[in-house]
Amino acid sequence: MGKSGADLGVVAGLVRASFLVNAVYTESAREYGLTVQQGQLLCVLMGRPYGMGDLGATLGLEKSSLTGLVDRAVRRGLVRRAPDPDDRRAVHVLLTPEGRELAEDFYAATCRRVDDLAARLSPPERDRLGALLGTIVRENEAPTVFLDTLQA
């Protein structure tokens, strides 16, 4: 407790970094008139449409919570439901043109803000941090809730 950032261990460093990223995400969402979950939904759907089951698993939401989130996004005109061509009982959720525009703006602003968190790192330090975080994400099979900026 009370350690400076320079001598944090892995656990404290990751937990405190997650708080920083969550604060940035919350600030961006607020600026764009979104809840954090709506921002996450838009960012996930930037990659591709999702079925409700996969979307719930990716976002870590129960069916009722996901349904409410998608319903609110539909009412705002950000997403729409489309029939699953392989299963008449299922639907895919996809961005509307308005939702895609908002998602891209929100994503770009959030990326800039998160990138600013590491602004004082040298290019080799940033590369090393990215590689280490990539290893953690891959080994723990973290869902793709935010695209790599190089893919966007």
Q: What is the pLDDT of residues 39-81, one digit of tens each?
A: 999 999 998 999 999 999 999 899 999 999 999 999 999 999 9
Q: Where are the domains of the chain?
A: 13-139
pLDDT at 145 over 80: no
Which is it for the CA torsion 114, 105, 31, 39, positive or negative?
negative
pLDDT, residue 150, reads 45
Q: What pLDDT band is residue 151 in, cutting at 50, 70 and 90?
A: very low
Q: Residue 21: CB partners within 8 Å, gap ≥ 6?
A: 114, 117
CATH of domain 13-139: 1.10.10.10
- Apex 99 CA angle, 95 and 103, nearest 5: 100
pLDDT at 13 over 60: yes
Mean pLDDT of 120-145: 89
User: Which residue has tokens 């008139």?
Assistant: 33
Long-range pairs for 132-140: beta carbons < 8 A, 24 or more residues apart = 136/14
Dist. CA 124–CA 52, nearest whole Å: 40
